[in-house]
Structure 1
Amino acid sequence: MDDDGQRRRLRTGFDETAEAYERSRPVCPPQLFDDLMDAGSLSPGDRVVEIGCGTGQASVPMAQRGLAVTAVELGADLAALARRRLAPFSSAAVVTSAFEDFEPAEAAPFAAVAAFNCLHWIDPHLRYAKPAALLPPGGLLAVGTCHWARPADADSFWFEVPDDYRAVGGEGGQMLTPEAIGPWHLPPEAEEHFYEVVAARYPFARTYRPEDYLANLASQSGIRSLGADRSAELLERVHHRLQARGGHPITATFVGQLTLGRRKADLRR
């Protein structure tokens, strides 16, 4: 299977674990969303289209800040959970669709297009061109990402668990320290459409119950790409490792990233 076929296959798999995805995916800290509003010059009532909202991990914080979010989600079960979470916000809506096929229901312009942990799943030919087409000149592209990290003083679990990945033929490289993960910048292919104005990083931590950490692993595309047998073996190995430490909660470290770009007035440049 070529890279494009693999991308299209894996991006649909999150819907198979929607409940696990909902309860175990990390949410970036409030400061990131505050900076999105302030540095992005967004105001309550501004219309935002969100690419690949999942179950609303970023949709809800944006709606809480008064943004009128149109969240686009490919997976029907993920979209249903997002609708439930966004129900208290009258200006928020969820559209079940691939972003590549999304067409706005009304002509009013969007102030921003936001993508959290999903831009890499979009067709490379439309990844930046379609957000640019939805925005007026000066409109905002907001890209959020979240990376696992491992502090030097992390629990020994984080130093040992890569052995379990290698045992099943997966990638078992050591995670970077938080300090080694810098801001993410718009790549060259975005420069036809956007110029970068902000790139920031936000270290944070989340404590998981063992069952929720395993649920997070089960929802990850890298785990699912191993195939049913090897992913099941990996999850069983990690389960035993968690049991060996007494079943106590485990604290994971992350680095969130926020990158903001403005749509160029002349897209030929």
Structure 2
Amino acid sequence: MTDPTQNLDTDALRTFGENVDFGRTASDYATHRAGFPLAFFDLLAERGWASPGQTAVDLGCGTGTVARGLATRRLRVTGIDPAQPLLDEAVRLDHATGVEVIYKNGTAEATGLAAATADLVTAGQCWHWFDRPAAAAEVARLLRPGGRVVIAHFDWLPLPGNVVATTEALILHYNPDWAGAGGTGLYPAWLTGLANAGFTALETASFDVLQPYTHAAWRGRIRASAGVAASLDAEATARFDADLAAMLVRDFPDDPLEVPHRVWMATGTLAGE
């Protein structure tokens, strides 16, 4: 397994992602995958990076965790994702929350949205899947002069012997090609990419949290990951899930689990304000 003190190989992960279909995981994704914590949206508001009345575009929106969080803060949000099953789940969750987001099927590299119409573009837990230079160019096209981009991650943290490291080892047993193990939740290369795309006043922010997961929810969260149901067949996924359930009961009997996660973000503004 990759040394957990090192950041994951994002280029290898993107190559692996060419065979990943998160649409196959839509139900588990919507039910079990914890979204960004409220403290993430609080930080955006406190630093003036997301304000009521702004127009926002959320790239790779999935089931809408970031888009919905921005909408609850009274931003006007459009979510973009290539997987229609995830967008369908996002609409359902929005209705349950009482907010409205516009969703469009599309990619981060070619959203089909009008140029210079967004105050804020976000990408939560997805920038590593993109053709990053093309996505950064599309972000610059979408933003008004002085507009802001926020690239954010909410990553589990594999530490020696913890439930994350043990789960990652099991994923690799079933899917040796999975490139997502051993992450630190830090992505300094994103800063260079943003600078190359013309963004300035670059900043980062991060904080760690313990995210509670019941055994059932952790199993669902892991099934929804790229290394399991999004890339394994149904039979292999079922065998993996049974082994994970047994491992949790045997080695990590606390229920719920307290799973360490890191929120990390990079942000910058488009020149011209």
Q: Normalised by the shorter chain, which TM-score bucket?
A: 0.7 to 0.9
2:211 aligns with 206
Asked if 1:39 corresponds to 2:47, the answer is: yes
Cα separation, partners in 2 of 1:184 and 1:140, compared to 1, 3 Å: same
Q: 1:191 aligns with which of 190, 195, 211?
A: 195
Cα separation, partners in 2 of 1:123 and 1:165, compared to 1, 3 Å: closer
User: For 2:167 and 2:115, how far apart are their aligned partners in 1?
Assistant: 50
**CA RMSD between the two structures:** 3.2
Residue 209 of structure 1: how far off its partner (Å): 1.9
**Which runs of structure 2 are paired with 1:61-100 in the superposition (5 Å)?**
61-87=69-95, 88-90=98-100, 92-100=101-109
2:18 aligns with 8
Secondary structure in 1 matching 2:29? helix
**Which runs of structure 2 are paired with 1:100-115 in the superposition (5 Å)?**
100-104=109-113, 109-115=117-123
Contact 1:28 1:146 in 2 (8 A): yes
User: For 1:163 and 1:4, how far apart are their aligned partners in 2?
Assistant: 20
Residue 204 of structure 1: how far off its partner (Å): 1.1
Residue 231 of structure 1: how far off its partner (Å): 4.7
Contact 2:156 2:164 in 1 (8 A): no
User: For 1:188 and 1:198, how far apart are their aligned partners in 2?
Assistant: 12
Residue 160 of structure 1: how far off its partner (Å): 4.4
Contact 2:121 2:149 in 1 (8 A): yes
- Which sits farther off after the overlay, 81-90 or 19-28? 81-90
Q: TM-score, normalised by structure 2?
A: 0.79
Contact 1:224 1:231 in 2 (8 A): yes
Cα separation, partners in 2 of 1:159 and 1:150, compared to 1, 3 Å: closer
User: For 2:207 and 2:268, how far apart are their aligned partners in 1?
Assistant: 18
RCO (CA 8 Å, sep 6+): is it higher in 1 or 2?
2
Residue 17 of structure 1: how far off its partner (Å): 1.1
2:6 aligns with none
1:263 aligns with 270
Residue 261 of structure 1 aligns with an amino acid whose one-letter code is G
User: For 2:163 and 2:18, how far apart are their aligned partners in 1?
Assistant: 33
Secondary structure in 1 matching 2:146? coil
Asked if 1:234 corresponds to 2:240, the answer is: yes
Contact 1:197 1:261 in 2 (8 A): yes
Residue 236 of structure 1 aligns with an amino acid whose one-letter code is A
Contact 1:29 1:202 in 2 (8 A): no
Secondary structure in 1 matching 2:243? helix
Runs of 5+ unmatched residues, structure 2: 1-11
Larger Rg: 1
- Which sits farther off after the overlay, 210-219 or 242-251? 242-251
Residue 104 of structure 2 aligns with an amino acid whose one-letter code is V
Residue 89 of structure 1 aligns with an amino acid whose one-letter code is V
Cα separation, partners in 2 of 1:188 and 1:238, compared to 1, 3 Å: same
- Aligned residues with identical type, % of pairs: 21
Asked if 1:252 corresponds to 2:259, the answer is: yes
Secondary structure in 1 matching 2:222? helix
Contact 1:40 1:260 in 2 (8 A): no
Q: TM-score, normalised by structure 1?
A: 0.80
Secondary structure in 2 matching 1:101? coil
User: For 1:186 and 1:166, how far apart are their aligned partners in 2?
Assistant: 26
Contact 1:71 1:95 in 2 (8 A): yes
Residue 85 of structure 1: how far off its partner (Å): 2.5
Cα separation, partners in 2 of 1:197 and 1:101, compared to 1, 3 Å: closer
Contact 1:165 1:172 in 2 (8 A): no
